[in-house]
Amino acid sequence: MAQITANDITIEYEDYGDPGDPAILLVMGLGAQLTLWPIELVDALVERGFRVIRYDNRDIGLSQKMDGEEAPGIFKLVLMNRLGLKPRVPYTLSDMAADGVGLLEALNIDNAHIVGASMGGMIAQLIAAEHPKRTASLTSIMSTTGNRKLPAAQKEAIKVLTTRPPSADEEVLVAHGIRVARTIGSPAYPPSEDRLLSRVREGVRRSYYPDGLPRQLAAILADGDRRKRLAAISAPTLVIHGEADPLVPLAGGLDTAESIPGARISTFPGMGHDLPLALVEPIADLIAEHAGKA
| Short-list 139, 156, 149, 135, CA closest to 41 | 139
CATH of 2-293, one of 3.40.50.1820, 3.30.70.270, 1.20.1250.20, 3.40.440.10: 3.40.50.1820
Residue range 39-67: average pLDDT? Answer: 98
CA distance 226 to 192: 37
Write the CA distances from 84 to 77, 81, 257, integer angstroms: 10, 5, 23
* pLDDT score, position 24: 99
The CA-to-CA distance between both ends of the chain, in Å, stands at 29
* pLDDT score, position 132: 98
Give the helix/strand (H/E) hosting 101: helix 93-106
pTM, 2 dp: 0.96
pLDDT tens digit sequence for 138-193? 999 999 999 999 999 999 999 998 899 999 999 999 999 999 999 999 999 999 99
pLDDT tens digit sequence for 259-292? 999 999 999 999 999 999 999 999 999 999 999 9
pLDDT of 54 > 80? The answer is: yes
* pLDDT score, position 79: 78
* pLDDT score, position 125: 99
* pLDDT score, position 45: 98
Domains of the chain: which residue ranges?
2-293
* pLDDT score, position 282: 98
CB atoms within 10 A of CB 94: 17
pLDDT tens digit sequence for 193-252? 999 999 999 999 999 999 999 899 999 988 999 999 999 999 999 999 999 999 999 999
pLDDT of 73 > 80? The answer is: no
* pLDDT score, position 35: 98
CA distance 277 to 126: 28
